[in-house]
């Protein structure tokens, strides 16, 4: 079933798909009245709808099966040192597929160029495309931090678990999500392509961040990010799978034979 994005403010009766999403539904997919489609709002809500009617770039829809809104689970909040790269779009896609909660691009000392003052609309669009493909009803929160390490420290003040990924000689432990409390969100800071400076690391440590390593290899910017996302995604999925299996096993034991 094809998926389409309906913004949270439009998630209400009468359900109306407009603009680019409606054009894709009507012109590209050539949907006709009676066709079924999936909508999601990027905030945990999704459902199956029927196309009732359409006019130009507007599609009128009726809900058939609205799933209860899913609460966002504890997850990864990544702060990535700004880097000029053609791989940013690819990384945004993986952020959605691996279900990160938020992504901040920050101005590091070794960043290439200046980070934008605010997220670009195209970044959100790339996340929406990825969410359609992978079925994630949540979109990550996107931010920028042009104020550098000090701004990041302020943004992360509400997190109890904060980590800076750093390969310095003083780093004594590996990053292992299995060692972290299940109910905790994790705020992770990674440097730009050229890495973090000692001054930046000291700022984070003084603010309460734990320095952890990703291993012996010198990882590219997107490789380090993908590794962190994958480890945290695996942890959450393993917990979810075990919980679902326990519930199913309990149901089997109590079902009448």
In 56-207, which ranges are E strands? 58-66, 76-81, 102-106, 141-145, 162-165, 186-190
Instruction: Find the DSSP H helices in the chain.
Output: 19-23, 88-97, 121-134, 149-155, 198-206, 221-254
Average pLDDT over residues 126-146: 96
pTM above 0.85, yes or no: yes
Q: Count CB-CB contacts under 10 A for residue 129.
A: 15
Q: Are strands 36-40 and 3-5 parallel, antiparallel or unpaired?
A: parallel
User: Last residue of a domain, which of 34, 66, 98?
Assistant: 66
pLDDT at 247: 44
Model confidence at 170, pLDDT cuts 50, 70, 90, reads: confident
pLDDT at 245: 53
196: exposed, middle or buried (C-beta count within 10 Å: 0-12, 13-18, 19+)? Answer: buried
Residue 251 maps to a domain: no
Cβ proximity of 224 and 165 under 8 Å = yes
Token pair belonging to 105: 């691009």
pLDDT for 181 beyond 80: no
**Do residue 153 and residue 89 come from a single domain?**
yes
pLDDT at 237: 79
Residue 246 maps to a domain: no
pLDDT at 240: 67
**Do residue 129 and residue 223 come from a single domain?**
yes
Report pLDDT digits (tens) over 72-87.
877 899 999 999 888 8
Q: Which range of residues forms the domain containing residue 192?
A: 76-241
**Do residue 26 and residue 54 come from a single domain?**
yes
Cβ proximity of 110 and 83 under 8 Å = no
- What CATH number should be reported for the domain holding residue 62? 2.40.240.20
Q: Nearest-CA neighbor of 230 among 89, 104, 135, 99? A: 99
**Do residue 11 and residue 102 come from a single domain?**
no
pLDDT at 167: 82
Put the strands of the sheet holding 46-55 in their side by side order. 3-5, 36-40, 46-55, 58-66, 15-18
**Do residue 138 and residue 223 come from a single domain?**
yes
pLDDT at 122: 95
Report pLDDT digits (tens) over 99-121.
999 999 999 999 999 999 999 99
Average pLDDT over residues 137-164: 95
DSSP count for the chain of H helices, then E strands: 6, 11
Residue 253 maps to a domain: no
pLDDT for 222 beyond 60: yes
Report pLDDT digits (tens) over 18-48.
999 999 999 999 999 999 999 999 999 999 9
Report pLDDT digits (tens) over 56-65.
889 999 999 9
Q: What percent of the chain has pLDDT over 90?
A: 71
**Do residue 15 and residue 82 come from a single domain?**
no
Residue in the block written with tokens 């689970």: 73
Domain tally, the chain:
2
**Do residue 103 and residue 230 come from a single domain?**
yes
Token pair belonging to 136: 């994630």
């Amino acid at each position: 079933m094809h998926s389409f994005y309906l913004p949270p403010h439009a998630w209400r009766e009468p359900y109306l798909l407009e603009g680019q999403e409606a054009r894709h539904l009507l012109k590209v997919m050539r949907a006709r009245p009676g066709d079924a489609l999936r909508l999601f709002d990027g905030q945990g809500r999704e459902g199956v709808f029927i196309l009732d009617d359409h006019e130009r770039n507007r599609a009128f829809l009726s809900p058939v099966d609205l799933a209860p809104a899913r609460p966002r689970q504890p997850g990864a909040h990544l702060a990535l040192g700004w880097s000029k790269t053609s791989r940013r779009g690819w990384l945004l896609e993986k952020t959605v597929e691996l279900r990160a909660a938020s992504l901040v691009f920050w101005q590091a000392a070794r960043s290439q160029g200046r980070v934008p003052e605010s997220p670009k609309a195209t970044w959100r669009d790339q996340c929406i495309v990825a969410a359609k493909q992978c079925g994630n009803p949540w979109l990550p929160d996107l931010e920028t931090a042009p104020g550098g390490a000090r701004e990041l420290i302020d943004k992360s003040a509400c997190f109890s678990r904060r980590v800076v990924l750093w390969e310095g000689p003083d780093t004594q432990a590996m990053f292992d999500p299995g060692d972290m409390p299940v109910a905790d969100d994790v705020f992770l800071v990674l440097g730009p392509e050229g890495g973090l400076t000692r001054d930046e690391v000291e700022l984070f440590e003084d603010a309460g961040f734990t320095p952890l390593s990703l291993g012996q290899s010198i990882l590219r910017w997107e490789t380090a990010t993908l590794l962190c996302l994958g480890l945290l995604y695996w942890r959450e999925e393993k917990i979810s799978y075990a919980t679902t299996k326990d519930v199913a096993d309990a149901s089997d034991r109590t079902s009448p034979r």
